Amino acid sequence: MIRRPRRLRATKAIRNLVRETKLQKEDLIYPLFIVDGENIKREIPSMEGVYHFSVDMLEDEIKELVELGIEHVLLFGVPDDNKKDCCGSEAYNDNGALQQGIRKIKEVAPEMDVICDVCMCEYTSHGHCGILTEGGYVDNDKTLEYLSKIAVSYAKAGADMVAPSDMMDGRIGALRNALDENGYETVAIMAYSAKYASAFYGPFRDAANSAPAFGDRKTYQMDPANSDEAMVEADLDIEEGADIIMVKPALSYLDIIRRFKDNYDLPIAAYNVSGEYSMLKQAVKQGLLSEDAIYEAVMSIKRAGATIIITYFAKDLAKVIDMKK
């Protein structure tokens, strides 16, 4: 027997030496939900260990992230219902909760990389990701005007990067132009390039209070059956100036992550979404899986080709990564 692969599995030190894929804390982005009000740190019922924070309660959370070595956060604003309207105007309120949150984070941890999700579903009274026509269809080009205002407002507050998740045609070009025209050439864009109309978003809609009041989002989010279409979306986003392209969700779309990795030289992000998080959390809690399953699942996203992983497990993983060193 000439070759024995088990020789390179014989000890932990050897396994570490030849490990092909390594998950690092620098790869991780931690999502945060910022709400109106004061003195609020409220656990989201469908997402154990994930919280709503009012701006005044962010400091301890950010200090914990810094201590854990997590360098990136992705912010979502969750306004009170009485601040929602048909055009999501609270999203581009320069003194809105999310904008205040950006400033607070930069005050507490100036080096923290602050990324802001750009969408309208959390801010509109109808729960859709854009401006509606009289017939209830999302008006693509009208929506671009509002998304641009939102992105500029976040940049003005100090965001380092914006991440449009709306899936409107032409959104990357529109945001790039708006940011550049307002003097924010250094603010990067992470495009939700392949965002699928997935059933795995359920807990997030609880967290963001963003379920559509009618219909669904299948006229703008992608069909889960499609793979080639993801390449079309990525091509367009890159042409329009995206700095990072993303696949969302992650675990059910590892094949799309791999296609992106094989075809593009941009950083590839993947969003380990709320449904994926809650399923694993519950399986571990009920004793069906060990906690090692979390690390294994997120490692599969990295192995598929993602260079950046957005995950609610970021704090848990940071602790595990330290233990594995």
Q: What residues are labeled active site?
A: 195, 248
The continuous run of DSSP H or E covering 247 comes out as strand 244-248
Longest pairwise C-alpha distance within the chain = 73
- Among 177, 181, 169, smallest CA distance to 142 is for 169
* Dist CA 133 CA 167 (whole Å): 17
* Dist CA 33 CA 183 (whole Å): 27
Strand partners, 118: 164
- Among 24, 67, 306, 76, smallest CA distance to 209 is for 76
Secondary structure letter of residue 186 according to DSSP: T
State how far the alpha carbon of 227 is from the alpha carbons of 14, 182, 268, in Å. Answer: 38, 36, 16
Cα dihedral 149→150→151→154 (10° resolution): 120
